[in-house]
Structure 1
Amino acid sequence: MSALPHEAYERPHRPSRPEGAPVVDRRSGIRAAALRLFAAQGYRATTMADIGAAVGIRGPSLYKHVASKHELLAEIMIGTMEQLIADNATAVADTDDVREQLRRAVEAHIRYHARHRLEAFVGNREIGSLEQPDQDRVLAGRSDYERRFRELIERGTAERVFRVHSARIASYSILDMGIGVSSWFHEGGEFTVDQLAYQYGDIALRIVGGASRR
C-alpha cells in the first residue's frame, strides 16, 4: 500500500462560507472535506457527522447536499478515472508518433498523480469500499486506462520502435510509477511537476526499449 500523503495528516480545515453560498460550492467543499477525511482515517472510519463537522454543517442539513458518504466516495473515484482518461486522450491527440504519444501519456499520468495525491491515495486504497455498480464502473475505467497504454506499447512494438516481451507488464510498470509519485511528491521539493513528468517520460521510454530522441 502506498504511504499516506502528508496532507492527509492535517486536521481538516473548517472554512467559513457566506450565508447563501451557491449549492455547487457547498457540494464541492463537502467533497473536498470527505476526501481529506477518507485519506486520513479511512472511508469506513469516517462518518457523515465527521464530514459535516469539517464543513460546519450540522445534522440533517448535510443530507440536503449529499445522500451518503458512499455517494461522495463514488463521486471522487469515478471522477478520478474520468479525468485520467480525458487527460490521456488529450495528451495523445495531436501526434501520430507512437514514441511521442507514450511520452505525453506518461507525462499526463505523472502530472495528475503529483497534483491529486489524495485522490490517488484514496482511489488505490478504497476500491473495496465501493458498492455496486460503482465498483464495476471504476474497475472498467481502470481497465480502459491501462488498455490505452498497452495498445500504444503494442503498436510501438509492431512498428519496431519499442522492444518488450510483454506489453501488459510494461504498461503495469508505467502505471505503477504514478502511484509511487502520489506517495512521495510534494510541491516545493527538488523537482517541479513538469520536471518530474519529463524525467518519468524518459524512464517509461527506457522500460519499453524506445529511448527518447534528444
Structure 2
Amino acid sequence: MAAPGSFERPHRPGEHEAALPDDRRSAIRLAALLLFATRGYLATTMADIGAAVGVRGPSLYKHVASKQELLAEIMTGTMARLLAGFQDAISSTDDVREQLRRAVEAHVRYHAQHRFEAFVGNREIANLAQPARDLVLRHRSDYERGLRRLIERGAAEGVFTVRSAQLASYSILDMGIGVAAWYREGGEFSVDQLAYQYGDLALRMVGAAPQRHQSPA
C-alpha cells in the first residue's frame, strides 16, 4: 500500500521466495503476484503465469479471465486487509496513544509479512484499470485519513504535540511501507520486535514519549 506521494522502492523481491499453494486458483494468484513483483505487470503474460503453475492455454482461462483481473484482486485485497487491520487495532483499546501504537504495529507487520503485495501495490497502480483503480485510491485515502484523525484526536486531547497531522500520517505510513523493501525473516529483529520499535518511533514523531513496556523478545 502506498501513502499519497510515496515513492517507488528499488528493491525487487526474489523470484523464488514463496511456495505455490495446492489450490489452483490460489496458486495462479500467487504466481501472478510473484511475477508482477519480479518482472513487472507489463512484462508478464498470461502464458508466463500459466507456465508458473503448469497450466497451458485455454485451461488457464477456466480459472481466471485476465491478468488485469489478477492485478485488481491483489491490490484491492491488499487494501482490504490493511483497512481491516487498522480497524482491529483501534477497536482493541480506547487510549489514543495505544491506538496509534497498535495501528502502526499492524501497518508494519503487514508490510514485513506481505512484501510482494506491498511492492506491487506501490508500483502498479498506473496499470490498474477502472473501476478498480479508483477503488484502491479511495481505500488508500481512507486508510491515511483514519490515521490522521487518530493523530488529530490525540493532539486535541493534549496527548500528542504535532504541527501537521497530515504530514505526520504520511511520514508514519511511508516509514512502515519501507519495511517491505529491506525486512527479511531471520535477521536482527523479529516481526514483533520490529513492529514494537516502529510504534515507539511513531509516538516520538507525534510528540508523545512512549510508555515504558517490555519490548517483545
Give the TM bin, normalised by the shorter chain. Answer: over 0.9
Using the alignment, how far apart are the partners of 1:145 and 1:11 within structure 2?
A: 28
Equivalent position amino acid for 1:146 in 2: E
Q: Residues of 2 paired with 1:36 and 1:205: CA distance?
A: 34
**Structure 1 residue 92 displacement after superposition:** 1.2
The 8 Å contact of residues 12 and 33 in structure 1, kept in 2 or not, is answered as no
> What do you get for the CA RMSD once the two structures are aligned?
1.5
Q: Is the 1:4–1:39 Cα contact (8 Å) retained in structure 2?
A: no
In terms of fraction of residues, the more helix-rich structure is 1
Q: Aligned equivalents of 2:180 and 2:194: distance in 1?
A: 12
1:153 paired residue among 127, 151, 154: 151
TM-score (norm: length of structure 2): 0.91
Matched, 1:6 2:4: no
| Off by >6 Å, runs of 4+ in structure 1 | none
- 1:54 matched to 2:52: yes
> Paired residue for 2:198, among 177, 197, 200?
200
Is 1:119 paired with 2:126?
Answer: no
Partners of 1:167 and 1:16 lie apart in 2 by 42
Tell me the number of residue pairs that the alignment of Structure 1 and Structure 2 aligns. Answer: 205
Contact 1:5 1:117 in 2 (8 A): no
CA distance in 2, matches of 1:93, 1:16: 32
Aligned-residue offset at 1:5: 3.9
Q: Which of 30, 35, 38 does residue 28 from structure 2 map onto?
A: 30
Instruction: Write the letter of the residue equivalent to 2:32.
Output: A
Structure 1 gaps, min length 5: 18-24
Unaligned runs of 5+ in 2: 1-7, 213-217
- The 1:192/1:16 distance shift into structure 2, 3 A limit, reads closer
Match of 2:55, SS?
coil
| Cα distance in 2 between the residues matched to 1:109 and 1:16 | 25
- CA distance in 2: counterparts of 1:43 and 1:6, whole angstroms: 14
Indicate how the Cα distance of structure 1 residues 11 and 114 shifts in structure 2: closer, same or farther if over 3 A, else same: closer
